[in-house]
Structure 1
Amino acid sequence: IAVYKPRGVLSDLGNPTTTTEHPAVRDLVPLPGHLFPVGRLDLSSEGLILLTDDGALAHRLTHPRYAHEKEYHVLVEGHLPAETLDRWRTGVFLDGRRTAPADVSVLSVERNHTWLRVVLREGRKRQIRRVAAMLGHPVRRLIRVRIATLELGTLKPGQYRHLTDAEVAALQSPPTGHPSPKHSRHARSRKERKRGRNRKRSRKQR
C-alpha cells in the first residue's frame, strides 16, 4: 500500500501503551491485516510511505546492501551557491562519517527559498535536515516523492492506494547495477572453487 503521510503523522505503528496527540500512518489505512511501514519519515516530513506485510520486501528496500534510491523535494532557506551544492553532492561528515554521494539539483528558486531535488542511496536519521542545516540552509518543507521505482504520483496528503503487480515486481528486483545477493554468492563460490583448483594444480607442479 502506498500512502501519502502528511506532516504531523507518525511513520511508525504507534505505541498503544502511551498517549500521543499524533496519529500513526497505519491509522490512515482502514484495512485489515498486519501492515507495517517500510522505513521512516520524521514527524515534520511528508510524502511516500510504503505499508506491507511482506518482511522480505521490507528488508530488500531498507538494507544498505541494496542501495535503493529515495527521492525528495526539499524547500530550504536562501539560495545555494554552486560550491554549496557540490559539497552536498560529494558528502559531508555526520557523526564522524562522510555521507554517501547524493544527487542534488535545483528545481526552482523563490524570493527567499529554494526547492531542491535530493536523491539518497543511504538513510541516516534526519540526514537531509542535518546536512541542510550544516550548510546554512535549514529545511522548511520535505516531501518524499519516490522509493526505488515506486513514485508518489498524484496521491494527496492522507490518501493511499494499492500497488499494481508490476510495481511490486519492480520493487522486488535488484537496483540497476546491483546484482542480487543470491547471484553474488554464487559468483563468489565459483571464483573460490576456481582459485582452490588453481592452488592444487600449482602444488602438484611443484
Structure 2
Amino acid sequence: MSGSEKEILSNVLPAVAIKSDTFFDFHGIFGRSAPLFLEIGFGNGEFLYNLALHNPEADFVGIEVYMSGVAKLLRRLTGYEKSHPPHPQYIRLVNDDANTVLKNNFRDESLDGIYILFPDPWPKKRHHKRRLISSESVGVMHRCLKKRGFVVVATDHDDYAEVIKETFASGSFRLTDTDLPEVRNTKYAQKAQLQGKSIHIFRFEKSLS
C-alpha cells in the first residue's frame, strides 16, 4: 500500500466508516430516511461510486474486506483523483467480512437492494466453502431485504453462474433480468469480455411467498 493510500485511510476513513459492533441504525448514520443499497466486495469502488453519484436520493453502504480497495474508493471520494466530480455524500463503508456483517448487523427488511459484482469463484472444489454465494448467505440476504428487494450478481465464471442461479432459485428468489448495462459497462466486465470470457448477470427479486 502506498504512502498516500495510508494517509487517506488515516485521515478520511473515520468519517465514512461504520463500526460493525452492533445493529446498524441507518437513520442515525445518514441523518435521513432514504432507500438503502449495499454493495458487497466493492473492489476499487468504481461501481459503488458511480451508483451513489447518479442516485443522490438514496443511501449506499459498501463492504470490503481488503483495505487496498477501501483506500481506492476513498481516493475517489475525496478528490485525490482530480478527474472525478465532487464526491457523493451518502456513502458509508464497512471493512469486515460480508457474511458476518450481514448476519449480525443488518436488521430484517432494511435493504432495498444488494449488488455483488464478480465475487471470487474459488474454482477448486476444496475451496467451494469459501464462496460468498451459499444457501446460508442467500437466506440472510432474503431476511435483510424489504419486500420486492433485489440482489444483482455478476460473474465471469461459467460454472459459478450455474451455482448462483440454482442457489437463489432455491432461496425464495425469482430471476427478473439477465442483462444490466450499468454492470456490463464496468471496467472489470469490459476487460473480461476482451479476454473472451462470458459475462453472466442476474437480477433476483425477493419472492413475496
Asked whether the two chains share a fold, i.e. TM above 0.5, the reply is no
TM-score normalised per structure 2? 0.25
Indicate the structure (1 or 2) with the bigger Cα radius of gyration.
Answer: 1
Report which of the two has the higher share of helix.
2
TM-score normalised per structure 1? 0.25
